[in-house]
Amino acid sequence: MTAPDAYTVEPWGLTETSLDLDVLARAESVFALSNGHVGLRANLDEGEPHGLPGTYLNGVFELRPLPYAEAAYGQPESGQSVINVTNGKIIRLLVDDEPFDLRYGDLSEHQRRLDFRDGMLRRRAEWTSPAGRSVRVTSTRLVSLTQRAVAAIAYEVEPLNGPARIVVQSELVANEQLPAWTGDPRASAVMEAPLVAEQHTHNTDAKALLVHQTRFSGLRVAAAMDHEVDCPADFQGEVESDPDQARYSVTTVLQPGQKLRLVKYIAYGWSAARSLPAVRDQVAAALTAARFTGWDGLVNEQRQYLGDFWKRSDIEIDGDMELQQAIRFALFHVLQAGARTEERAIPAKGLTGPGYDGHCFWDTETFVLPVLTFCLPDAVAQALRWRHSTLPLARERASQLGLAGAVFPWRTIRGEECSGYWPAGTAAFHIGADIARAVERYVRASGDIDFERDFGMEILVETARMWRSLGHHDAEGLFRIDGVTGPDEYSAIADNNMYTNLMAQANLRAAADSATRHLHEAGALGVDTEEMAGWRDAAAAMFLPYDDKLGVHCQSEGFTNHEMWDFDNTPPEKYPLLLHFPYFDLYRKQVVKQADLVLAMQVRGDAFTAEEKARNFAYYERLTVRDSSLSACSQAVIAAEVGHLDLAYDYLAEAALMDLHDLGGNTKDGLHMASLAGACIALTAGFGGLRDHDDHLVFRPRLPSGLSRIAFSMMLRRDSLLYVEITPSHATYELRQGDSMTLMHDEEEVEVVRGRPVSRPIPRPVPLERLHQPPGREPARRHAQSGPNVGSGAEPALHDADL
């Protein structure tokens, strides 16, 4: 089954109608459930076969050494890798002593469906054992968005062709055996048996608990389970535990038409500081609360939470059902990644897989938080408070590098730098400005002045200090930032990267403005008027490289003088280039891994004229190979802005379908959260023309020929909800919460009052000649999808009645 054919196309869910054992790991990522604190990969209930087992707790990691061929000052000595914690998903089934194993017997039906509206994964299977006994198995799994420590599974088994002796074994399993590492640097490092047992307990009913500590990082992890059983026949239940496993077994004999129903409640907790009794009792309390709420209560809470979310956050698309599904899939997973992080990082893969070792990158602030800012602002505040909590480590790193202020890590889980390759890691200083930009955006959109005063300003101040010490004024008075790596990792250690300099410029100005608004708190940080003036001077004198001959901005100083990469003689199988060519060769050629200058035009569009954007985009389009999933979304935004609407549509689809079509070939390691979030940005900022560079939201909407309508909502200052609807001829702005607001439509100032929608015309787009990309790296042309796998929007086959 190829990736595009794996799932039905429907507007509010994702259904897998058959099981392909060769791509289990991919489906385990796609159907993963999370709330930002607990993450469950969509492994089969019975645990085997599996692609990659995965149960994750945000912030739980193990330490591993970072070996170097040669020692060098400032290199991180230890890395952090997310680990597979105690697995509470497993529910094994034996039918007349034969295990329910899909590799044996006959599987006549298998269907799984993820519903975006209630956040539950449903499964239905009909299986005949090698001995000829047939059963129907249904299950529903959820990770609670309202009770952060809790997950639950409702599991049913029913014999179909005669009486059957049924044994159901519900388990907690620690230190599961994992597949061997593939060698792909994008995948996770594997660590065997990272958990050391501390305590295991069970009672005489149906409850059990395991407590472990990570072997080197010293984190304490507890997992507990409890059960409810509904069975029309007599049954026997018993529970047992040992250091790495706990099991609750239910035995009965069922007749056709009778069902054994098991509801399993699972609770997780962890701490770096609290004692064993404290962590154990926390998990026990979460389990008690889940039992008190009950299965129906958890389901109702989940539906209400998601109902509220979709009312304020849905993105509607007319004209492309597959894209509509992909965008809601993206929003759902971005929500899952950030909903309950509560001062923890949002990893690049969320909690859907171990890719990139579970690290958080600049992806979070640049792609994920802009989406959450307008639909789940509390999650943004939590994510930025986590960054604030790591400031002591960032200051320590800056001091180690001989810099003032704070240097945030390129990749991390807890706050320490975990990148062992300094040209792409340590030298990517732009992450400081990315975080600062996220602070500025959140405060402006939410009006949360308390956050700015108590958390945001300190981040802005310390990153501004870093820029002031990293850069310098040259003999002509220009402020230069030399020897850094921008977003394009194929151009490392460059002077005056355009993106970096523009973001640093905004960072310096934002710090001075924030300190001016909060003079008392800024004074407590040692900020004085002289330092603020120095920041403003550096921002005003920032060097922005430009090639007068070509009439384009340089990605970095001298970039346009580099030799062109030989695209014509680079065959398709040699992509991604980083896996087939040495970095030194990439660094000295004109070839772009991912949008860099193009991203600068997206986030600092105020620094470019319309003509500059068009020329720059055309130039860098023929150099960009998109060896990163972070590229297509930004190319979509700028393509739409400069008038290449159908090209923008192609890039939007690439970003949105990155995981559903497994375009990168590594969805098995976890979903691409930045690409998913970027697809939402491509719609709102690309075809919606949304820009938030200042206090007024600006819209410049345009639609490609393939779409007849888009609509989206935005939360503003916590009490306003703006609804935007765009057709090929008009844009309509409606304030559904709040009193009034002012926005810009194209160049016109528009006042929007609640209850009085305002419509404005959209100019007809001028057709442009399609731009060229590197040979073989063109985005797939997008056409509205149709065919036998496209759903009609009717209710799916798998729903609550199946349980």
**Consecutive sets of 10 residues in the chain, 803 residues long: mean pLDDT of each?**
83 96 96 98 97 97 87 87 97 97 96 98 98 97 98 98 97 89 56 91 94 96 98 96 97 97 98 96 97 98 98 97 98 98 95 96 97 96 98 97 97 94 90 98 96 98 98 98 97 97 98 98 97 98 98 98 97 94 95 97 97 98 97 98 97 97 96 98 97 89 96 92 97 96 95 96 93 95 57 40 34
Q: What whole-number distance in Å separates Cα of residue 147 and Cα of residue 144?
A: 5
d(CA 764, CA 344): 46
Report the alpha-carbon distance of residue 156 to residue 630 in Å, rounded.
Answer: 41
Question: What secondary structure does DSSP assign to 556-590, as a single string?
Answer: STTGGGSEEP-GGG--GGG-SGGGTS-HHHHHTEE
CATH 2.70.98.40 domain extents, the chain: 3-65+76-289
What residue ranges in 144-244 does DSSP mark as E strands? 150-159, 164-173, 195-202, 208-214, 220-230, 235-242
Structure tokens at 458: 């300190």
The residue among 718, 684, 719 whose CA lies nearest residue 699 is 684
d(CA 227, CA 215): 30
Judge if the upstream peptide bond of residue 796 is cis by omega within 30 degrees of 0: no
Q: How many residues does the chain have?
A: 803
The predicted model scores a pTM of 0.95
CA 740 – CA 742 distance, rounded (Å): 7
What tokens does 801 get?
Answer: 């009645």
Query: Which residue blocks in 608-701 are alpha helix, DSSP H?
Result: 610-621, 631-642, 645-656, 673-681
What is the rounded end-to-end Cα distance, in angstroms, of the chain? 28
pLDDT at site 1 = 61
* Dist. CA 34–CA 340, nearest whole Å: 9
**Residue 66: count of CB within 10 angstroms of its CB:** 15
d(CA 456, CA 436): 8
d(CA 491, CA 483): 11
Q: Which of 302, 381, 298 is nearest to 342 (CA)?
A: 381
* Amino acid symbol at 685: A
Cα distances (angstroms) measured from residue 789 to each of 11, 22, 435: 13, 21, 42
Looking at domain 3-65+76-289, its CATH class is mainly beta
Question: What number of other Cβ atoms are within 10 A of residue 186's Cβ?
Answer: 19
- 608 — phi, psi (to 5°)? -130, 150
User: Which among 512, 495, 374 is positioned nearest to 436, based on CA atoms?
Assistant: 512
Task: Give the span between the Cα atoms of 672 and 138, in whole angstroms.
Answer: 29
49: preceding bond cis by omega (within 30 degrees): yes
DSSP 8-state code for residue 190: P
Which CATH architecture group holds 313-340+591-782?
Answer: Sandwich (2.60)
Round to whole Å and give the CA distance between 655 and 676: 6
Give, as one character, the DSSP assignment of residue 413.
S
86 in Cβ contact with 172 (< 8 Å)? yes
Q: How far is CA 139 from the centre of its chain?
A: 26
- How far apart, in whole angstroms, are the C-alpha atoms of residue 567 and residue 625? 9
Residue 166: what residue type?
I
**φ, ψ for residue 212, nearest 5 deg:** -135, 165
Q: Rounded to whole angstroms, what are the CA distances from 686 to 5, 21, 290, 324, 679?
A: 28, 38, 43, 16, 10
Which among 46, 158, 365, 489 is annotated as catalytic?
489
Phi, psi of 536 (to 5 degrees): -65, -40
710 close to 320: Cβ distance less than 8 angstroms: no
Cβ atoms within 10 Å of 249's Cβ, excluding its own:
17
Contact (CB, 8 A) for 633 and 678: yes
Instruction: Please compute, for residue 237, the number of CA atoms within 13 A of its CA located in the half-sphere on the CB side.
Output: 18
Q: CA nearest 669: which of 169, 164, 25, 88? A: 25
- Measured CA to CA, the distance from residue 180 to residue 41 in angstroms comes to 18
Domain 376-548 top-level CATH class: mainly alpha
- List where CATH 1.50.10.10 sits in the chain: 376-548
Q: What is the pLDDT of residue 733?
A: 98
Alpha carbon distance 351, 54 (integer Å): 9
The residue behind tokens 């920041």 is 535
3-state secondary structure of 502: helix
Which DSSP symbol is given to 681?
Answer: H
Give CA–CA dist 764/702, Å, rounded. 8
Closest CA to 265 of 285, 242, 295, 300: 295
Q: Is 489 a catalytic residue?
A: yes
How far is Cα 357 from Cα 355, in angstroms, rounded to an integer? 5
The answer to whether residues 33 and 142 touch, using CB atoms and an 8 Å cutoff, is yes
DSSP for 52-117 reads ---EEETT-EEEEE---SS--TT---EEEEE----B---EEEEETTEE--TTSSEEEEEEEEEETT
What contacts 289, CB < 8 A, 6 or more positions away?
Answer: 147, 150
- Residue 184 confidence (pLDDT): 56
Placement of tokens 């590594």 in the chain: 666
Side chain identity at 512, as an amino acid letter?
A
CB 502 within 8 A of CB 607: yes
Token pair in block for residue 582: 């040495």
